[in-house]
Amino acid sequence: MAEAQDTTARPNIPEDLADDASPMPTPEIADSYSGYKANPDVTARILGETETSIRDFLINFTEPVLTGAQRSSRVLRVTQGSNTGMVLVSRSDGDEKTLSLMDIASAGRRIDHITDETYPEEIKKLEQIEEKLQKMTTRIYDERAWKAIKSTGELELFQAEIVEMVNKLRFVRVKEKLEILDRLNRCVTFQDSQGRYNPPTRLAIWTSTYRFIQSRKINIERISGHLAKDRVSVTAKMQEEAKRLNWFYSVVTEKAGELKILDVNEPLDDVLTIKIATNLRALISSCEGFKFEPYISFAKKIIAETRAIIEILNSPNHNEKEQREKAKQSFVKIYSMAKLLNIEDELIAARTDTFDSGKKPEKIFTLGLLRRLVDIKERFSQKRLDESVEVKDLNPIYGEIFKFLNTIISNLRQDLGKCRNEEDRVFALKKVEKTLKDFSVAKLLQSQELEEKVA
Protein backbone atom coordinates (compact mmCIF):
# COMPACT_ATOMS: atom_id res chain seq x y z
CA MET A 1 0.00 0.00 0.00
CA ALA A 2 1.42 3.41 -0.95
CA GLU A 3 2.67 5.73 1.81
CA ALA A 4 0.82 8.79 0.53
CA GLN A 5 -1.17 11.07 2.82
CA ASP A 6 -4.57 9.69 3.74
CA THR A 7 -7.51 11.19 1.87
CA THR A 8 -10.31 9.18 3.46
CA ALA A 9 -12.96 11.87 3.26
CA ARG A 10 -11.28 15.07 2.24
CA PRO A 11 -13.51 17.98 3.40
CA ASN A 12 -13.73 19.48 -0.06
CA ILE A 13 -17.41 20.40 -0.02
CA PRO A 14 -18.49 22.27 -3.19
CA GLU A 15 -18.53 26.02 -2.62
CA ASP A 16 -22.05 26.41 -3.96
CA LEU A 17 -23.29 24.21 -1.12
CA ALA A 18 -21.34 25.88 1.66
CA ASP A 19 -23.69 28.85 2.07
CA ASP A 20 -27.08 27.40 1.25
CA ALA A 21 -29.42 30.26 2.11
CA SER A 22 -33.08 29.44 1.61
CA PRO A 23 -35.87 31.84 0.64
CA MET A 24 -37.88 32.93 3.62
CA PRO A 25 -41.57 31.99 3.72
CA THR A 26 -43.88 34.95 3.25
CA PRO A 27 -47.61 35.69 3.63
CA GLU A 28 -47.72 36.18 -0.15
CA ILE A 29 -46.82 32.50 -0.63
CA ALA A 30 -49.61 31.43 1.66
CA ASP A 31 -52.09 33.82 0.06
CA SER A 32 -51.36 32.32 -3.36
CA TYR A 33 -52.70 29.02 -1.98
CA SER A 34 -56.02 30.51 -0.89
CA GLY A 35 -58.78 27.97 -1.45
CA TYR A 36 -56.48 24.94 -1.40
CA LYS A 37 -57.43 21.94 0.73
CA ALA A 38 -55.02 19.43 2.21
CA ASN A 39 -55.71 15.83 1.29
CA PRO A 40 -56.33 13.47 4.26
CA ASP A 41 -52.68 12.38 4.38
CA VAL A 42 -51.46 15.98 4.67
CA THR A 43 -54.08 16.80 7.28
CA ALA A 44 -53.02 13.86 9.44
CA ARG A 45 -49.25 14.13 9.04
CA ILE A 46 -48.74 17.87 8.73
CA LEU A 47 -51.59 19.99 9.98
CA GLY A 48 -52.45 17.57 12.77
CA GLU A 49 -48.85 17.63 13.91
CA THR A 50 -48.76 21.43 14.20
CA GLU A 51 -52.44 22.06 14.96
CA THR A 52 -52.53 25.02 12.61
CA SER A 53 -54.37 26.20 9.52
CA ILE A 54 -53.00 25.67 6.02
CA ARG A 55 -52.17 29.38 5.69
CA ASP A 56 -50.30 29.55 9.02
CA PHE A 57 -48.47 26.34 8.24
CA LEU A 58 -47.34 27.60 4.84
CA ILE A 59 -46.02 30.83 6.38
CA ASN A 60 -44.21 29.25 9.33
CA PHE A 61 -43.22 25.76 8.25
CA THR A 62 -42.44 25.84 4.52
CA GLU A 63 -40.25 27.45 1.88
CA PRO A 64 -40.61 27.45 -1.92
CA VAL A 65 -38.48 25.10 -3.99
CA LEU A 66 -36.93 27.66 -6.32
CA THR A 67 -33.99 27.82 -8.68
CA GLY A 68 -32.35 30.58 -10.69
CA ALA A 69 -34.50 33.66 -11.23
CA GLN A 70 -37.74 31.83 -10.46
CA ARG A 71 -40.03 33.88 -8.21
CA SER A 72 -42.82 31.45 -7.46
CA SER A 73 -43.23 27.71 -7.08
CA ARG A 74 -46.05 25.21 -6.78
CA VAL A 75 -43.70 22.95 -4.78
CA LEU A 76 -42.92 23.80 -1.13
CA ARG A 77 -40.39 22.19 1.22
CA VAL A 78 -41.43 21.43 4.80
CA THR A 79 -38.81 23.04 7.07
CA GLN A 80 -39.86 21.87 10.55
CA GLY A 81 -41.34 18.89 12.35
CA SER A 82 -41.15 15.17 11.76
CA ASN A 83 -41.82 15.66 8.05
CA THR A 84 -38.92 18.04 7.46
CA GLY A 85 -37.60 17.59 3.95
CA MET A 86 -40.86 16.36 2.47
CA VAL A 87 -42.49 18.59 -0.13
CA LEU A 88 -46.02 19.86 -0.56
CA VAL A 89 -47.17 19.70 -4.18
CA SER A 90 -50.19 21.71 -5.23
CA ARG A 91 -52.68 20.90 -7.93
CA SER A 92 -55.47 23.13 -9.16
CA ASP A 93 -58.21 21.81 -11.42
CA GLY A 94 -61.03 24.29 -11.48
CA ASP A 95 -62.59 24.57 -8.05
CA GLU A 96 -60.69 21.52 -6.81
CA LYS A 97 -57.41 22.70 -5.25
CA THR A 98 -55.34 20.25 -3.24
CA LEU A 99 -51.99 19.92 -1.48
CA SER A 100 -50.24 16.55 -1.36
CA LEU A 101 -47.20 15.46 0.68
CA MET A 102 -44.35 13.43 -0.85
CA ASP A 103 -40.58 13.25 -1.23
CA ILE A 104 -38.93 15.36 -3.92
CA ALA A 105 -38.21 12.42 -6.25
CA SER A 106 -41.91 11.48 -6.18
CA ALA A 107 -42.81 15.12 -6.83
CA GLY A 108 -40.71 15.04 -10.00
CA ARG A 109 -42.43 11.87 -11.20
CA ARG A 110 -45.85 13.37 -10.47
CA ILE A 111 -45.05 16.49 -12.52
CA ASP A 112 -43.87 14.28 -15.38
CA HIS A 113 -47.04 12.21 -15.26
CA ILE A 114 -49.22 15.30 -15.56
CA THR A 115 -47.18 16.99 -18.30
CA ASP A 116 -46.31 13.86 -20.30
CA GLU A 117 -49.53 11.87 -19.99
CA THR A 118 -52.53 13.64 -18.45
CA TYR A 119 -52.56 16.95 -20.33
CA PRO A 120 -51.46 15.64 -23.75
CA GLU A 121 -54.23 13.04 -23.57
CA GLU A 122 -56.77 15.73 -22.67
CA ILE A 123 -55.67 17.99 -25.52
CA LYS A 124 -55.95 15.04 -27.89
CA LYS A 125 -59.57 14.48 -26.80
CA LEU A 126 -60.40 18.17 -27.15
CA GLU A 127 -58.96 18.24 -30.66
CA GLN A 128 -60.95 15.13 -31.59
CA ILE A 129 -64.11 16.90 -30.42
CA GLU A 130 -63.23 19.95 -32.53
CA GLU A 131 -62.63 17.81 -35.59
CA LYS A 132 -65.93 15.93 -35.26
CA LEU A 133 -67.85 19.11 -34.60
CA GLN A 134 -66.43 20.67 -37.75
CA LYS A 135 -67.29 17.66 -39.91
CA MET A 136 -70.81 17.46 -38.54
CA THR A 137 -71.40 21.19 -38.85
CA THR A 138 -70.34 21.24 -42.51
CA ARG A 139 -72.54 18.25 -43.30
CA ILE A 140 -75.67 19.48 -41.55
CA TYR A 141 -75.47 23.03 -42.97
CA ASP A 142 -75.63 21.52 -46.47
CA GLU A 143 -79.38 21.47 -47.25
CA ARG A 144 -79.17 18.53 -49.66
CA ALA A 145 -76.96 16.60 -47.26
CA TRP A 146 -79.39 17.33 -44.41
CA LYS A 147 -82.24 15.61 -46.26
CA ALA A 148 -80.08 12.56 -46.88
CA ILE A 149 -78.93 12.53 -43.26
CA LYS A 150 -82.51 12.32 -41.99
CA SER A 151 -83.56 9.63 -44.46
CA THR A 152 -80.52 7.30 -44.27
CA GLY A 153 -79.99 7.12 -40.52
CA GLU A 154 -76.81 9.15 -40.67
CA LEU A 155 -78.29 11.48 -38.04
CA GLU A 156 -78.35 8.65 -35.52
CA LEU A 157 -74.66 8.01 -36.23
CA PHE A 158 -73.89 11.66 -35.63
CA GLN A 159 -75.81 11.52 -32.38
CA ALA A 160 -73.87 8.42 -31.29
CA GLU A 161 -70.59 10.23 -31.95
CA ILE A 162 -71.73 13.14 -29.79
CA VAL A 163 -72.66 10.75 -26.99
CA GLU A 164 -69.20 9.21 -27.25
CA MET A 165 -67.60 12.65 -26.86
CA VAL A 166 -69.79 13.33 -23.83
CA ASN A 167 -68.75 10.04 -22.26
CA LYS A 168 -65.07 10.92 -22.64
CA LEU A 169 -65.65 14.05 -20.55
CA ARG A 170 -68.02 12.42 -18.08
CA PHE A 171 -66.01 12.96 -14.89
CA VAL A 172 -64.79 16.49 -15.53
CA ARG A 173 -64.83 19.28 -12.94
CA VAL A 174 -62.99 22.15 -14.60
CA LYS A 175 -65.15 25.11 -15.64
CA GLU A 176 -64.30 24.95 -19.34
CA LYS A 177 -64.89 21.20 -19.46
CA LEU A 178 -68.26 21.55 -17.77
CA GLU A 179 -69.31 24.18 -20.30
CA ILE A 180 -68.33 21.87 -23.15
CA LEU A 181 -70.10 18.94 -21.50
CA ASP A 182 -73.28 20.95 -20.98
CA ARG A 183 -73.40 22.06 -24.62
CA LEU A 184 -72.74 18.60 -26.00
CA ASN A 185 -75.44 17.11 -23.79
CA ARG A 186 -77.94 19.66 -25.10
CA CYS A 187 -77.06 18.63 -28.65
CA VAL A 188 -77.45 14.87 -28.28
CA THR A 189 -80.78 15.14 -30.07
CA PHE A 190 -81.60 17.51 -32.94
CA GLN A 191 -85.26 17.56 -31.97
CA ASP A 192 -86.88 20.37 -30.04
CA SER A 193 -89.29 19.97 -27.12
CA GLN A 194 -92.17 19.20 -29.53
CA GLY A 195 -90.26 16.44 -31.33
CA ARG A 196 -89.52 18.51 -34.44
CA TYR A 197 -86.07 18.50 -36.07
CA ASN A 198 -84.42 21.86 -35.46
CA PRO A 199 -80.73 21.63 -36.46
CA PRO A 200 -80.02 25.41 -36.66
CA THR A 201 -80.81 25.91 -32.96
CA ARG A 202 -78.71 22.94 -31.95
CA LEU A 203 -75.85 23.99 -34.20
CA ALA A 204 -75.77 27.44 -32.62
CA ILE A 205 -75.24 25.82 -29.23
CA TRP A 206 -72.84 23.36 -30.79
CA THR A 207 -70.67 26.02 -32.39
CA SER A 208 -70.33 27.93 -29.10
CA THR A 209 -68.43 24.98 -27.63
CA TYR A 210 -65.38 25.97 -29.71
CA ARG A 211 -64.76 28.98 -27.47
CA PHE A 212 -64.66 26.84 -24.35
CA ILE A 213 -62.45 24.23 -25.99
CA GLN A 214 -59.95 26.94 -26.90
CA SER A 215 -60.12 28.39 -23.37
CA ARG A 216 -59.34 25.00 -21.85
CA LYS A 217 -56.40 24.43 -24.23
CA ILE A 218 -54.96 27.85 -23.33
CA ASN A 219 -55.28 27.03 -19.63
CA ILE A 220 -53.49 23.72 -20.14
CA GLU A 221 -50.63 25.54 -21.89
CA ARG A 222 -50.38 28.01 -19.00
CA ILE A 223 -50.38 25.27 -16.33
CA SER A 224 -47.88 23.22 -18.33
CA GLY A 225 -45.54 26.23 -18.34
CA HIS A 226 -45.70 26.43 -14.54
CA LEU A 227 -45.11 22.68 -14.23
CA ALA A 228 -42.09 22.85 -16.55
CA LYS A 229 -40.51 25.48 -14.27
CA ASP A 230 -41.28 23.37 -11.21
CA ARG A 231 -39.66 20.34 -12.87
CA VAL A 232 -36.48 22.35 -13.49
CA SER A 233 -36.43 23.38 -9.81
CA VAL A 234 -37.03 19.84 -8.56
CA THR A 235 -34.29 18.44 -10.80
CA ALA A 236 -31.83 21.15 -9.73
CA LYS A 237 -32.48 20.43 -6.03
CA MET A 238 -31.98 16.70 -6.55
CA GLN A 239 -28.64 17.42 -8.20
CA GLU A 240 -27.65 19.72 -5.34
CA GLU A 241 -28.36 16.92 -2.89
CA ALA A 242 -26.23 14.48 -4.89
CA LYS A 243 -23.31 16.95 -4.86
CA ARG A 244 -23.07 16.58 -1.09
CA LEU A 245 -21.66 13.09 -1.59
CA ASN A 246 -20.16 13.34 -5.07
CA TRP A 247 -16.96 14.91 -3.76
CA PHE A 248 -16.54 12.01 -1.33
CA TYR A 249 -17.25 9.46 -4.05
CA SER A 250 -14.79 11.01 -6.49
CA VAL A 251 -11.99 11.33 -3.92
CA VAL A 252 -12.35 7.72 -2.75
CA THR A 253 -12.56 6.43 -6.34
CA GLU A 254 -9.45 8.35 -7.36
CA LYS A 255 -7.36 7.70 -4.23
CA ALA A 256 -8.59 4.22 -3.24
CA GLY A 257 -5.08 2.72 -3.30
CA GLU A 258 -3.86 5.35 -0.85
CA LEU A 259 -6.59 5.04 1.76
CA LYS A 260 -5.05 3.63 4.94
CA ILE A 261 -8.42 2.73 6.40
CA LEU A 262 -8.84 0.06 3.72
CA ASP A 263 -5.58 -1.73 4.64
CA VAL A 264 -6.49 -3.69 7.76
CA ASN A 265 -2.96 -5.11 8.03
CA GLU A 266 -1.26 -1.72 8.43
CA PRO A 267 -1.58 -0.12 11.92
CA LEU A 268 -2.73 3.48 12.17
CA ASP A 269 -0.61 5.79 14.31
CA ASP A 270 -2.21 8.50 16.47
CA VAL A 271 -1.65 11.32 13.95
CA LEU A 272 -3.21 9.39 11.09
CA THR A 273 -6.09 8.19 13.29
CA ILE A 274 -6.94 11.78 14.23
CA LYS A 275 -6.70 12.88 10.58
CA ILE A 276 -9.06 10.14 9.38
CA ALA A 277 -11.56 10.88 12.16
CA THR A 278 -11.45 14.60 11.31
CA ASN A 279 -12.14 13.92 7.65
CA LEU A 280 -14.99 11.60 8.54
CA ARG A 281 -16.54 14.30 10.72
CA ALA A 282 -16.47 16.54 7.64
CA LEU A 283 -18.45 13.84 5.84
CA ILE A 284 -21.01 13.85 8.65
CA SER A 285 -21.24 17.63 8.43
CA SER A 286 -21.90 17.41 4.70
CA CYS A 287 -24.59 14.75 5.17
CA GLU A 288 -26.29 16.82 7.86
CA GLY A 289 -26.78 19.48 5.19
CA PHE A 290 -29.23 17.36 3.19
CA LYS A 291 -32.51 19.25 2.89
CA PHE A 292 -34.91 16.93 1.10
CA GLU A 293 -36.41 13.51 1.58
CA PRO A 294 -35.63 10.79 0.62
CA TYR A 295 -32.03 12.01 0.77
CA ILE A 296 -32.27 12.96 4.46
CA SER A 297 -33.14 9.35 5.38
CA PHE A 298 -30.41 8.17 3.02
CA ALA A 299 -27.89 10.45 4.76
CA LYS A 300 -28.89 9.16 8.20
CA LYS A 301 -27.65 5.70 7.20
CA ILE A 302 -24.33 7.15 6.05
CA ILE A 303 -23.98 9.19 9.25
CA ALA A 304 -24.64 6.06 11.36
CA GLU A 305 -21.92 4.10 9.53
CA THR A 306 -19.50 7.05 9.73
CA ARG A 307 -20.00 7.45 13.47
CA ALA A 308 -19.44 3.73 13.90
CA ILE A 309 -16.01 4.13 12.24
CA ILE A 310 -15.14 7.15 14.41
CA GLU A 311 -16.13 5.20 17.52
CA ILE A 312 -13.76 2.40 16.50
CA LEU A 313 -10.95 4.88 15.80
CA ASN A 314 -11.44 6.43 19.25
CA SER A 315 -11.20 3.07 21.02
CA PRO A 316 -7.83 1.94 22.43
CA ASN A 317 -7.94 -1.34 20.48
CA HIS A 318 -8.77 0.25 17.13
CA ASN A 319 -5.79 -1.44 15.43
CA GLU A 320 -6.96 -4.93 16.21
CA LYS A 321 -7.75 -6.74 12.98
CA GLU A 322 -11.38 -7.41 13.92
CA GLN A 323 -11.97 -3.72 14.68
CA ARG A 324 -10.17 -2.59 11.55
CA GLU A 325 -12.23 -5.01 9.47
CA LYS A 326 -15.46 -3.54 10.91
CA ALA A 327 -14.26 -0.01 10.13
CA LYS A 328 -13.33 -1.02 6.61
CA GLN A 329 -16.71 -2.63 5.95
CA SER A 330 -18.54 0.45 7.23
CA PHE A 331 -16.38 2.65 5.02
CA VAL A 332 -17.12 0.51 1.95
CA LYS A 333 -20.86 0.70 2.75
CA ILE A 334 -20.59 4.50 2.83
CA TYR A 335 -18.81 4.46 -0.51
CA SER A 336 -21.46 2.12 -1.90
CA MET A 337 -24.26 4.49 -0.88
CA ALA A 338 -22.38 7.45 -2.31
CA LYS A 339 -22.04 5.55 -5.57
CA LEU A 340 -25.80 5.09 -5.74
CA LEU A 341 -26.41 8.83 -5.50
CA ASN A 342 -23.63 9.47 -8.00
CA ILE A 343 -25.27 7.23 -10.62
CA GLU A 344 -28.59 9.03 -10.11
CA ASP A 345 -26.86 12.39 -10.55
CA GLU A 346 -25.15 11.20 -13.74
CA LEU A 347 -28.41 9.96 -15.24
CA ILE A 348 -30.22 13.18 -14.32
CA ALA A 349 -27.40 15.15 -15.97
CA ALA A 350 -27.56 12.96 -19.09
CA ARG A 351 -31.32 13.50 -19.31
CA THR A 352 -31.28 17.27 -18.75
CA ASP A 353 -28.30 17.87 -21.05
CA THR A 354 -30.02 15.92 -23.80
CA PHE A 355 -33.69 16.81 -23.50
CA ASP A 356 -33.74 20.13 -21.61
CA SER A 357 -31.13 21.82 -23.79
CA GLY A 358 -33.72 23.63 -25.90
CA LYS A 359 -32.92 21.55 -28.97
CA LYS A 360 -35.74 20.18 -31.05
CA PRO A 361 -35.99 16.35 -30.77
CA GLU A 362 -34.94 15.88 -34.39
CA LYS A 363 -31.72 17.84 -33.70
CA ILE A 364 -30.61 15.71 -30.72
CA PHE A 365 -27.41 13.71 -31.28
CA THR A 366 -28.80 10.25 -30.54
CA LEU A 367 -25.52 8.36 -30.81
CA GLY A 368 -23.96 10.83 -28.39
CA LEU A 369 -26.64 9.98 -25.80
CA LEU A 370 -26.11 6.26 -26.41
CA ARG A 371 -22.34 6.57 -25.87
CA ARG A 372 -22.91 8.56 -22.69
CA LEU A 373 -25.22 5.91 -21.28
CA VAL A 374 -22.73 3.16 -22.17
CA ASP A 375 -19.97 5.11 -20.40
CA ILE A 376 -22.14 5.51 -17.28
CA LYS A 377 -22.89 1.78 -17.29
CA GLU A 378 -19.21 0.84 -17.60
CA ARG A 379 -18.23 3.04 -14.66
CA PHE A 380 -21.10 1.82 -12.53
CA SER A 381 -20.20 -1.80 -13.33
CA GLN A 382 -16.76 -1.49 -11.73
CA LYS A 383 -16.78 -4.07 -8.94
CA ARG A 384 -13.58 -3.12 -7.11
CA LEU A 385 -12.70 -0.09 -5.05
CA ASP A 386 -9.05 -1.10 -5.35
CA GLU A 387 -7.12 -4.34 -5.87
CA SER A 388 -7.94 -5.55 -2.36
CA VAL A 389 -11.50 -4.33 -1.89
CA GLU A 390 -14.46 -5.62 -3.87
CA VAL A 391 -17.66 -3.59 -3.94
CA LYS A 392 -20.24 -6.17 -4.88
CA ASP A 393 -23.83 -6.83 -3.83
CA LEU A 394 -23.57 -4.44 -0.87
CA ASN A 395 -27.05 -3.29 -1.70
CA PRO A 396 -29.74 -5.30 -3.50
CA ILE A 397 -30.64 -2.38 -5.74
CA TYR A 398 -27.23 -2.54 -7.43
CA GLY A 399 -28.64 -5.38 -9.54
CA GLU A 400 -31.77 -3.38 -10.32
CA ILE A 401 -29.71 -0.39 -11.49
CA PHE A 402 -27.47 -2.57 -13.65
CA LYS A 403 -30.56 -4.17 -15.21
CA PHE A 404 -32.04 -0.73 -15.81
CA LEU A 405 -28.89 0.54 -17.56
CA ASN A 406 -28.58 -2.61 -19.65
CA THR A 407 -32.25 -2.45 -20.70
CA ILE A 408 -32.28 1.24 -21.67
CA ILE A 409 -29.08 0.86 -23.72
CA SER A 410 -30.28 -2.34 -25.44
CA ASN A 411 -33.69 -0.84 -26.24
CA LEU A 412 -32.17 2.36 -27.62
CA ARG A 413 -29.81 0.38 -29.86
CA GLN A 414 -32.67 -1.78 -31.15
CA ASP A 415 -34.94 1.22 -31.73
CA LEU A 416 -32.22 3.10 -33.60
CA GLY A 417 -31.60 0.04 -35.76
CA LYS A 418 -35.28 -0.07 -36.71
CA CYS A 419 -35.60 3.67 -37.43
CA ARG A 420 -36.59 4.31 -41.03
CA ASN A 421 -37.12 8.04 -40.77
CA GLU A 422 -36.82 11.05 -38.51
CA GLU A 423 -40.21 10.41 -36.93
CA ASP A 424 -39.09 6.94 -35.78
CA ARG A 425 -35.92 8.39 -34.27
CA VAL A 426 -37.83 11.08 -32.36
CA PHE A 427 -40.22 8.42 -31.03
CA ALA A 428 -37.24 6.34 -29.82
CA LEU A 429 -35.77 9.37 -28.07
CA LYS A 430 -39.06 10.14 -26.31
CA LYS A 431 -39.13 6.58 -24.97
CA VAL A 432 -35.63 7.06 -23.54
CA GLU A 433 -36.59 10.41 -22.00
CA LYS A 434 -39.60 8.88 -20.25
CA THR A 435 -37.53 5.93 -18.99
CA LEU A 436 -34.88 8.26 -17.56
CA LYS A 437 -37.53 10.39 -15.89
CA ASP A 438 -39.05 7.31 -14.25
CA PHE A 439 -35.70 6.16 -12.85
CA SER A 440 -35.10 6.98 -9.20
CA VAL A 441 -32.59 5.53 -6.74
CA ALA A 442 -34.87 6.84 -4.00
CA LYS A 443 -37.80 4.85 -5.39
CA LEU A 444 -35.66 1.70 -5.50
CA LEU A 445 -34.48 2.25 -1.92
CA GLN A 446 -38.04 2.81 -0.72
CA SER A 447 -39.18 -0.39 -2.44
CA GLN A 448 -36.30 -2.26 -0.82
CA GLU A 449 -37.15 -0.91 2.63
CA LEU A 450 -40.81 -1.86 2.16
CA GLU A 451 -39.82 -5.40 1.21
CA GLU A 452 -37.58 -5.62 4.29
CA LYS A 453 -40.44 -4.48 6.55
CA VAL A 454 -42.83 -7.01 5.05
CA ALA A 455 -40.24 -9.77 5.40
Residue 77 lies in a domain: yes
Residue 67 lies in a domain: yes
Q: How confident is the model at residue 386 (pLDDT cuts 50, 70, 90)?
A: low
Mean pLDDT computed over every residue of the chain: 80
Q: Read off the pTM.
A: 0.77
Backbone torsion region of residue 81, taken as left when φ is above 0, otherwise alpha when ψ lies between -120 and 50, otherwise beta = left
Q: Are residues 93 and 36 in the same domain?
A: yes
| Distance in angstroms between the alpha carbons of the first and the last residue of the chain | 42
Give the model confidence (pLDDT) of 156-196 as tens digits.
787 788 778 877 776 677 777 888 888 877 777 777 677 77
Give the model confidence (pLDDT) of 291-308 as tens digits.
999 889 889 999 999 999
Q: Are residues 189 and 166 in the same domain?
A: yes
Which residue, of 222, 242, 260, is where some domain finishes?
222
Answer yes or no: are the C-beta atoms of 63 and 25 closer than 8 Å: yes
Residue 347 lies in a domain: no
Residue 359 has pLDDT above 90, yes or no: no
Which residue, of 197, 222, 247, is where some domain finishes?
222
Q: By residue range, what is the domain housing residue 181?
A: 110-222
Q: Are residues 94 and 128 in the same domain?
A: no
Give the model confidence (pLDDT) of 4-18 as tens digits.
344 444 444 444 433
Task: Considering only CA atoms, give the Rg of the chain.
Answer: 29
Q: Nearest CA to 408 among 425, 431, 386?
A: 431
Residue 454 lies in a domain: no
Q: Are residues 93 and 131 in the same domain?
A: no
Provide the H-helix boundaries in 142-294.
143-152, 154-168, 175-186, 199-255, 270-287
Give the model confidence (pLDDT) of 318-347 as tens digits.
999 999 999 999 998 898 888 888 888 899
Which residue, of 222, 251, 283, is where some domain finishes?
222
SS3 389: strand
Total structural domains within the chain: 2
Residue 271 lies in a domain: no
Q: How confident is the model at residue 149 (pLDDT cuts 50, 70, 90)?
A: confident
Answer yes or no: are the C-beta atoms of 105 and 48 closer than 8 Å: no
Kindly provide the b/e burial profile for residues 205-237, where b requires at least 16 CB atoms within 10 angstroms of the residue's own CB: ebeebbebbeebbebbeebeeebebbbbbbbbb
Residue 66 lies in a domain: yes
